[in-house]
A and B are shown apart, each in its own frame.
With several copies, the nearest count.
Chain A
Amino acid sequence: MNLALALPTPAPSLRRRISDTLYTRPGLLLLALLAPPLLWFGVIYVGALLTLLANAFFSLDDFTGQVVRELTLKNFAELLEGANLDVALRTVVMASAVTLASIVLAFPLAYYMARHARGATKAALYLAVMLPLWSSYLVRLYAWKLLLAKEGAVSWLAAQLHLTWVLEALLGLPGIGGQSLSFSTLGTFIVFVYMWLPFMVLPIQASIERIPGSLIEASGDLGAAPGITLRRVILPLALPGIAAGSIFTFSLTLGDYIVPQVIGDSTMYIGQVVYLQQGTAGNVPFAAAFSLVPIVVIGVYLWFARRLGAFDAL
């Protein structure tokens, strides 16, 4: 066998020539790869956002509901009115609470999935977390209305367990209580947490999975009981996942207008006001101005999250 004999090299085709060019000029390759997504996002998405921004400087003719294309800062002045500030604050507080609660609920599950569940159990858990995401959000929401209603499943269960007094005590809490769970801020909160929980579980699970087992063993080896290991080693290392998950829970809460309309005490959240102003009242300029609030809030939030390494954990 004469292996030293070289194989014939094929005649250079157009494909080869392009390949050669791209190989020797990596910059060109990068450009070719990036052009379509950059065009899409740069033109369509950023373009749309800029249109929205531009709209924020227009105003609405009070009577006809037509947009007047004259630059004005009136919308921003209006944003600073008490009621609007209330809405913004209420929404941010709700988003933060939902995010915190999601972390608290998601962490043990994610931890269990990542470090203990194996094989079929793990697959089952994964499926169980994903399944709600695939069943219509709206149907789940209305199911909650039924669960939380005054004469709904939760009250029914509480009555069966003779725990009605607990429920009443909860509903009696000022600020978050109300007539029934489905008529209270508490209800809105529960449903938000429910809706976005899977978006928190998955990134945390992924980030815990990435922690080398030897680090946890090393902590135990050095004398740390499991609680200390959790606080000193696992939590800090799962932080990117937590931050990534919180981007979802935070942003989804910030923009949702359907949940608080169905469950809650009729106080408004940013999403509803934007929707109402844009859709119902047709006041696109004010809606645009108001939608800058979540943009700014999320912007600040993303800046923080990025420092925690959340983008690599999304």
Chain B
Amino acid sequence: MVTRKVSVPAAVQLEGVHCVFGTGERAVRAVDGVDLAIAPGEFFTLLGPSGSGKTTVLRMIGGFTLPSAGRLLIGGEDVTLRPPYARPVNTVFQDYALFPHMSIADNVAYGLMVRGVGKAARRRQANDMLALVQLDGVGERRPAQLSGGQRQRVALARALINRPQLLLLDEPLGALDLKLREQMQSELKALQRQLGITFVFVTHDQHEALSMSDRIGVFHRGRLEQVGTPQVIYDRPATRFVARFVGAANVLDDDAARRLTGHVSVMLRPERIRLGGAAGARAGGTVSEVQYFGAFTRVRVNAAGVGLQADLPPGAAVPEVGATVHLHWDASAVHALSDEPAAAATAAAVAAPAPLGAAA
């Protein structure tokens, strides 16, 4: 589901949207010129490091923050200045924002109540919604009496009962622990497919983004660095920043890159590197560190001054630290990065390794 020029209006469209907090010296450009169109029915993820502007974009779509400049359309209608309660959009907040003084059923039925739906109808629909998120029977409890995962589902039911065109989710799984999170990821994705609602999903977890999304927009310092399907983002990152932020990556520049690959600036995923014999090896070096991760083993190799990491599959022979190894990869595994100095500088700042023990 790639961006395409279609006659149906985009579910959401941002045109040159900026958002600046504060004024003068201390102004923060939280969102710095974003153009984006999300198709109806799409599961679109905003991915990026902390402070990159993801939440701010979501809040502008929801109407909680007004853009400093630019236009915002939902379903083709300009809603730039509409208050939240007049937008066909609902939100699942990161902290769920359940009303602590109301029962679960009343929380779920809130959207109906404020629209003046009668009590009986409210009750019935709320129960249906709770059933949909597999929470039958907790309607009379208070939010404080539910576990984190259950609250998350209530927040979802409360948003969905309004049948929004668009559901916004701000790191909805951030507070859950790993296993519960994996389970909720499947459930959310299944639900989205079933209902056909457009989801705009915020996360800083790359695994989550890759496995759930139709498309991902990678944010960096208030700008959209790249928009694409998970495959495109992972395999063909546009910039060094995207390459390093999504997944583990060997990013090589200048000399090293030219020497090993013939390009100026490249990315090579560690799982694409194999160990093998000297014959046909693309590079060779000594093992500096071996880390066991269960599903794979990461080996750091110092190849003539260039640090490369290779992820070995289970069952592969793992070399000792200090051993000499030969590295192999397919030419197709090497992805040339566009030359974008600003982004490169940033990427370096984010991931520059400085092993803590080395100094003493």
Contact = CB atoms under 8 A, between A and B. Distances in A.
Interface string A199-237: 000000000000010110111111111001000110011
A212 B85 contact: no
Interface stretch (B155-163, B260-268, B299-307): B155-163
B83 interface: yes
B294 interface: no
A267 interface: no
B62 A10 contact: no
B93 A4 contact: no
Interface of A: 1-7, 9-10, 19-20, 23-24, 212, 214-215, 217-225, 228, 232-233, 236-237
B353 to A, nearest CB: 24
Interface residues of B, number: 40
Contact of A228 (B88, B114, B158): B114
A10 to B, nearest CB: 6
A24 B81 CA distance: 7
Nearest to A22: B83
A217 B83 contact: no
Provide the main secondary structure of the chain B interface. loop
B111 A222 contact: yes
Given A3-B195, A7-B162, A220 B99 contact: no
B279 interface: no
11 contacts: A4-B165, A7-B115, A214-B94, A217-B62, A218-B99, A220-B83, A222-B114, A224-B85, A224-B114, A225-B114, A232-B110
A220 B110 CA distance: 11
B160 A212 contact: no
Interface pairs A-B: 5 shortest CB-CB: A214-B97, A218-B97, A222-B111, A220-B84, A224-B114
A3 B115 contact: no
A215 B99 contact: yes
B197 A3 contact: yes
Contacts of A3: 160, 163, 195, 197
Nearest to A24: B81
B247 to A, nearest CB: 32
B63 interface: yes
Contacts of A10: 115-116
A217 B93 contact: yes
Given A5-B163, A214-B93, A215-B97, A222 B110 contact: yes
B360 A1 contact: yes
Contacts of A224: 85, 110, 114
B313 interface: no
B91 interface: yes
Interface string B77-99: 00001011110111101110111
Contacts of B196: 4
Interface string B159-184: 11011110000000000000000000
B133 to A, nearest CB: 13
B4 interface: no
Contacts of A220: 63-64, 83-85
Contacts of A236: 101
Nearest to B65: A217
B243 to A, nearest CB: 34
B66 A214 contact: no
A2 B165 CA distance: 11
B357 interface: no
A219 B62 CA distance: 12
Contacts of B315: none
Contacts of A219: 99, 110, 114
A223 B111 contact: yes
A222 B83 contact: no
Interface string B255-274: 00000000000000000000
Contacts of B88: 6
Given A1-B360, A224-B110, A237-B100, A217 B162 contact: no
